[in-house]
Structure 1
Amino acid sequence: MDSSIERVILLIHDGSAEERGKLIETYRPFVLRVVSHICKCKIGWSDDEASVGLIAFNEAIDRYDTSHGKTFDNFAFMIIRNRLIDEFRRNGKQLKTESIIWSDDDDLELSSAAFSSSMEAYEREQAAMELAQELSRYDEMLQEYGVRLEELEECSPSHLDARIHMIQLAKKLNEYPELRAHLLRTKQLPIKAMLNLATVSKKTLERNRKYLIALILIFTYEDFGRIRSTVSFSGMGE
């Protein structure tokens, strides 16, 4: 079993409601995938079977013990399957998978594959959503400086060496709190002071004003970490 998951479950067993909530949220794609597989049809969160699966997953958290000899995801799969079968029997329904003989190896193979696939999809979806939210906040901030997000590609210097020079200048300005404060307060670049930081002309600074502001804001605010790691700064890194 993944030792990190094992540590989380131990924290939950010690009473951490916060860790329980995080684990349930992380495993939601896994639960839905398992329920859909067992029911042999696509299940959504509005379906009763999904609720049964989520309740069963919570039960699996409470009951899991490493001495059982199963990985947590394999154990959770087993509990979800059993609770769904119980539910269908109570309601007088026939579950297609009841006629299948399940072995521990079958559980493990399906569980691992389902968990891996679901987690990858979940992480991609979460990363895309968080980046979109971050870009939205960034765009709102840029507009305070008279810049629009969609303009950045157009105002980016066409030559690599020019982009590198602007990136270096933006980083350097960010090392001077008084210059950064001037930008944040006035929404204008401190052109005169910046001329002393690099061998560029006033005309060059004014021509690249929007690009520089966009870069400085990215380097200034920790909230824009995903943008920093996603946007290519000409291979320079951060």
Structure 2
Amino acid sequence: MLFSLFKFQFTTRDTEEKTLEELVMEIQIHQMDELRNHLLQKYRSFISKSVSRVCQRYIDPSVDDEFSVGLEAFNEAISQYSPEKGKSFLTFADMVIKRRVIDYIRKECKYDQSISLFHQEGEEGEEYRPYEIRAAILQYQMDSDTVKRKEEIFLLQEKLKDYGVSFMDLVDEAPRHVDARQNAFSIAKLLVEDHSLKQTFLHKKRLPLKELTKKVELSRKTIERNRKYITALALIQIGDFPYLRSYLTGLERS
């Protein structure tokens, strides 16, 4: 262990003088675990970007399982890389990451396992079948979006309870006319953007009806009639509800 650490310290001093490919080969030949871990940490951003390109969305290394798949793939690439194939290490690592993440996506979205996402072609090995990859990723994104929407709905339900509102209330009491829904959205937006009103709303767990009446051209009775709907709209805008918030775009007046 001590000898391995010494080798790592010696190597890191002249890392600037060595190519990444040379460092990878040193890891393979001398089993330098410390240097391997150093590269895994140094190239986390590269791994995250590579995984994000496959998944077509931002990947959070601290949350998303896909990043762990990419990290393992990068580690695998360190062990399997050979300069004789004529590729740079990062090009090779990017290819391995893509393959492993696509395999993960296929598994998660239960894509047809009888269809390979690759086909054999020459010495370069497996090549992508773009239409199959797009199909797998699309299904994966749909499944992922469905799960996240369900999570947001559950979280919103919990927050609404603090305000004495249920989802059934929203179904039964939501405004029927577009103008009424737009008015409710405007009030909720005003509430969210006004620091004092928002703090009252969050701390007292109720709409500040008296204060709102002074700021909008609607009667207190009208606001009170749509209280539960306005409450839900405000909570969606305040909280971390990107999927639910996307449904509100049509309510904002041009």
Please give the range of the TM-score, normalised by the shorter of the 2 chains.
0.5 to 0.7
Q: Is the 8 A contact 1:131 1:226 kept in 2?
A: yes
Q: Which of residues 191, 201, 205 is equivalent to 1:187? A: 205
CA deviation profile, 1:21-41 (whole Å, cap 9, x unmatched): 858987999xxxxxxxxxxxx
Name 2:190's counterpart in structure 1: 172
1:154 aligns with 2:172: yes
What is the aligned partner in structure 2 of residue 227 from structure 1?
244
The yes-or-no answer on 1:129 pairing with 2:155 is: no
Deviation at 1:163, TM superposition (A): 0.9
Report if aligned partners of 2:77, 2:93 keep a CA contact under 8 Å in 1. Answer: no
Q: Which secondary structure state, in structure 2, belongs to the residue aligned with residue 199 of structure 1?
A: coil
**Residues 163 and 234 in structure 1, CA contact (< 8 A), matched pair in contact too:** no
**Aligned: 1:107 with 2:122:** no
How many corresponding residue pairs? 182
Matches of 1:68 and 1:155, distance apart in 2: 63
RMSD (CA atoms)? 4.3
- Of 119, 142, 156 in structure 1, the residue corresponding to residue 160 of structure 2 is 142
1:9-48 matched pairs, under 5 angstroms: 13=39, 15-16=41-42, 18=44
> Any gaps of 5 or more consecutive residues in structure 2?
1-37, 56-70, 101-115
**How much does 1:138 deviate?**
1.1
TM value normalised by structure 1: 0.59
The 1:74–1:16 alpha-carbon spacing in structure 2 relative to 1, beyond 3 Å, is closer
> Looking at both structures, which has the greater relative contact order when contacts are Cα pairs under 8 Å and sequence separation is at least 6?
1
State the TM-score, normalized to the length of structure 2.
0.55
| One-letter amino acid of the counterpart of residue 41, structure 2 | G
CA distance in 2, matches of 1:57, 1:213: 47
Q: Which runs of 5+ in 1 are unaligned?
A: 1-11, 30-53, 81-96
1:27–1:165 Cα change, 3 Å? closer
Shift of 1:109: 4.3
SS class of match (1:166) = helix
Asked whether the equivalents of residues 64 and 72 of structure 1 are also in contact (C-alpha less than 8 Å), the reply is no
Aligned to 1:59: 76
- What is the CA-CA distance between 1:216 and the residue it aligns to? 1.1
Q: Tell me by how many angstroms 1:147 deviates.
A: 1.0
- Pairwise CA distance, 1:234: 3.2
